[in-house]
A and B are shown apart, each in its own frame.
Chain A
Amino acid sequence: MVELVNRPYAGAFEAYAVTHPEVLCLSADLTSSCEIDGFRDRHPDQFLSLGMAEQNMMSFAGGLGLAGFRPFLHTFGVFLYRRPYDQLVASVAYPRRKVRLMGFLPGVTTPGGMTHQAIEDISVMRSIPNMTILETGDATEVESIVEAADSVDGPVYARVLRGSVPRLFDTPIVVGKARELSLGTDVLVITAGITTEEALRARAALKKAGVSIRHIHLSTIKPFDARYLLDHLQSVRHGVVTLENHVTEGGIGSLVAETIADAGIAKRLIRLGLKDTYAHGGSRPYLMRTYGLDAPALVAAIEKLTGEAFGITEADLDAVRIDAVHSAAKAEAL
């Protein structure tokens, strides 16, 4: 059974921030929802409440960056780019301010529906010059995201998991370095964030079926090392499947497609993710099943690439981990 870590961001942020006085903690009315309520209470002089006003928060953070500070902005990911997009570009990205955008509840990890679900954030952020994009897929990555983000010379957007988070890895995020979870030769599987845990549900069943999987987990999405990916692409026989908690346009699937096209290599690609659609409010397992982001969807894609039917059923996969809707690890049911 996988170890679950309670609120890994809270402790990690506090431990880092108290030893780095140039780090400031900014919040836009989602303080407990972003696990920084304890920090606010214990370190009020390093905390700025900027209210439910993200446009001002973004430009204000640009000003703090100009003054030499490294503000960490805490809110739901969706509120860091949809409403304050102009401010994000003009006040933060263009001048390369060391602003750290901590985007909670990425993709379908929230039952809050369209207004809360950041499903095109990676696409938007990837197309902004000077931006770095990180994504956390387990408790260890969440624990190390603060230091990793703060090591970047420029603005950073990070997809951060909160609440009860599984521990999958035992080494911290290294900016620019992917994780090689298996080095098979049949099919390359590329995942990031919560889809890595999902892919791991199918690991045993696929192994038993005799398919050799090469599995890469991305925690740095931009900048992206195309040559590194090409080495892995050339190492598999059948092709590649990307599985992302995001629309299939502009995210990891697009990254891989661009890499293949730019290099002029012939390699089949199946992109799994939200297919040019919004999601709606619901539980994470329900949404991942409905929109084809889960382990059965991955197995089906691998069957299609290899042209084999493995006969893998739900019973052959590791159990879905279900978060309680209400738990002490979350400030609200969102």
Chain B
Amino acid sequence: MVRAPRTSKPKKSPPQANARSTEEIALGIRRRVFEHTIRNNGGYLSQACSAAEQLAWLYNEELHIGEPTPPPVPEPFGGVPSATNADYHTGAGYNGPALPHFDRLIFAPAHYALVAYATLIEVGRLAPEALGQFNKDGSSVEMIGAEHSPGMEMHNGTLGIGLSTAAGLAWGRRRKGETGRVWVFMSDGEVEEGQTWEAVQAAAYHGIDTLNAIVDVNAQQCDGAMDSVMDVRDIRAKFEAFGAVVAEIDGHDLTEMRDAARISHPGQPLIILAKTSPFQSMSYLERRFPRLHYVRFKDEADRAATNAAIAAELGVSPVDYAH
């Protein structure tokens, strides 16, 4: 499926030893988000199905980032940026320090925050207890990722603004001679926003080839299946027409993902379209299609049945939640 020529650029290895395989981490993400969703009586579960491999691969293989700097258990919400909040910091420290040679990750779809936190836990950057603070009052582990939430560097909750910011950051870092790249994790619903296309054309016009994005093409959005909400047509052709180099892959196939990231894209941003299933490894969710954006249970029987069925698929015991 990958059509563009490949480069001989050496693979960047993360500074920490990969104790676990990317496949194991992806499974761990799904198990963790599943457990949380059952305990919490609802959650962004389908996003773990579609995005687990992409996030596991980014953190375990592709991103060249340093050791996390904040404490493993996040500090409580420390206030918003203001002239008087001198101690303010973002959640980017969980992706390591912002040094010139390290990559930066812009997490564009803030609604995937639960999956992001699960990923950080699975790769050892965040303590498992952090999920206990999820969506709790006074916590920084917010339901919609804020810029003070673990792994986040800016607010992207309005969707469609992350790629532009990443392009500006990448342009600025290149001008300063920094060698680190900027990676963006995106969702396909963002292509409905005109700003996405403004960002791609600007990145191409300014030759920002240190900008890379992987897009979770799960064809889902808040209202349901994307084609029932807005027909976005051939997004590969559109990204290419606006000036990106595009790879289209099976988003659950790590080999295709690795190959796509090696595509040479001088003078152009790279967009990897990772086609995914919103019920990958949790086929029990398919019966909910097309209402997958936020999984909630209609009654206790639904919750119990979902618990039993998905636990079996994921090879874990059903979650022993408080009734």
Residues of A within 8 A of B (CB): 48-51, 53, 55-69, 86-87, 90-91, 94-96, 129-130, 153-154
Given contacts A94-B155, A154-B83, contact A63 B168 (CB under 8 A): yes
The CA of A153 and the CA of B164, in the complex, are separated in Å by: 23
The reply to whether A66 and B198 form a contact with Cβ atoms under 8 Å apart is: no
Contact with A along B78-96 (1 / 0, CB 8 A): 0011110000001000000
Within 8 Å CB of A61, what residues of B? 168
The reply to whether B168 and A55 form a contact with Cβ atoms under 8 Å apart is: no
The CA of A86 and the CA of B234, in the complex, are separated in Å by: 27
Question: B201 contacts which of A53, A64, A90 (Cβ < 8 Å)?
Answer: A53
Within 8 Å CB of B205, what residues of A? 49, 51
The reply to whether B202 and A60 form a contact with Cβ atoms under 8 Å apart is: yes
The reply to whether A56 and B171 form a contact with Cβ atoms under 8 Å apart is: no
The CA of A59 and the CA of B169, in the complex, are separated in Å by: 10
Given contacts A50-B202, A67-B176, A130-B81, contact A95 B147 (CB under 8 A): yes
A50, A59, A63 — most chain B CB neighbours (10 Å): A63
Within 8 Å CB of A63, what residues of B? 164-172
Question: B195 contacts which of A59, A64, A66, A94 (Cβ < 8 Å)?
Answer: A59
Contact with A along B173-216 (1 / 0, CB 8 A): 10110000000000000000011001101100110000000000
The CA of A62 and the CA of B153, in the complex, are separated in Å by: 12
Within 8 Å CB of A96, what residues of B? 81-83
Question: A51 contacts which of B156, B158, B202 (Cβ < 8 Å)?
Answer: B202
Within 8 Å CB of B176, what residues of A? 67-68
Minimal beta-carbon separation of B83 from chain A (angstroms): 7
The reply to whether A87 and B172 form a contact with Cβ atoms under 8 Å apart is: no
Question: A86 contacts which of B153, B161, B175, B202 (Cβ < 8 Å)?
Answer: B161
The reply to whether B169 and A66 form a contact with Cβ atoms under 8 Å apart is: yes
Minimal beta-carbon separation of B77 from chain A (angstroms): 14
The reply to whether B194 and A62 form a contact with Cβ atoms under 8 Å apart is: no
The reply to whether B202 and A66 form a contact with Cβ atoms under 8 Å apart is: no
Tell me what chain B mostly uses at the interface: helix, strand, loop, or mixed.
helix
The CA of A96 and the CA of B147, in the complex, are separated in Å by: 12
Number of B interface residues in the complex (CB < 8 A): 33
The reply to whether A60 and B82 form a contact with Cβ atoms under 8 Å apart is: no
Q: Which residue of A lies closest to B157 (CB)?
A: A90
The reply to whether B81 and A87 form a contact with Cβ atoms under 8 Å apart is: no
The reply to whether B168 and A60 form a contact with Cβ atoms under 8 Å apart is: yes
Q: Which residue of A lies closest to B206 (CB)?
A: A48
Given contacts A55-B194, A60-B167, A63-B169, contact A95 B199 (CB under 8 A): no
Q: Which residue of A lies closest to B174 (CB)?
A: A67
* Residues of chain B in range 133-172 having any CB-CB distance to chain A below 8 Å: 147, 153-158, 161, 164-172
With A51-B202, A62-B164, A63-B171 known, 8 other A-B pairs at CB within 8 A are A50-B202, A53-B195, A60-B167, A60-B171, A68-B172, A87-B161, A95-B155, A130-B81
The CA of A60 and the CA of B196, in the complex, are separated in Å by: 12
The CA of A53 and the CA of B80, in the complex, are separated in Å by: 29
Given contacts A59-B195, A154-B83, contact A66 B201 (CB under 8 A): no
Within 8 Å CB of A55, what residues of B? 161, 164, 194-195, 198
The reply to whether A67 and B81 form a contact with Cβ atoms under 8 Å apart is: no
Minimal beta-carbon separation of A186 from chain B (angstroms): 37
Q: Which residue of A lies closest to B195 (CB)?
A: A55
Question: B164 contacts which of A87, A95, A129 (Cβ < 8 Å)?
Answer: A87
The reply to whether A91 and B81 form a contact with Cβ atoms under 8 Å apart is: no
The CA of A129 and the CA of B154, in the complex, are separated in Å by: 16
Q: List 22 A-B contacts (CB under 8 A).
A: A48-B171, A51-B202, A55-B194, A59-B164, A59-B165, A60-B167, A60-B199, A60-B202, A61-B168, A62-B154, A62-B168, A63-B167, A63-B170, A63-B171, A64-B172, A66-B169, A87-B164, A90-B157, A91-B154, A94-B155, A130-B81, A130-B82
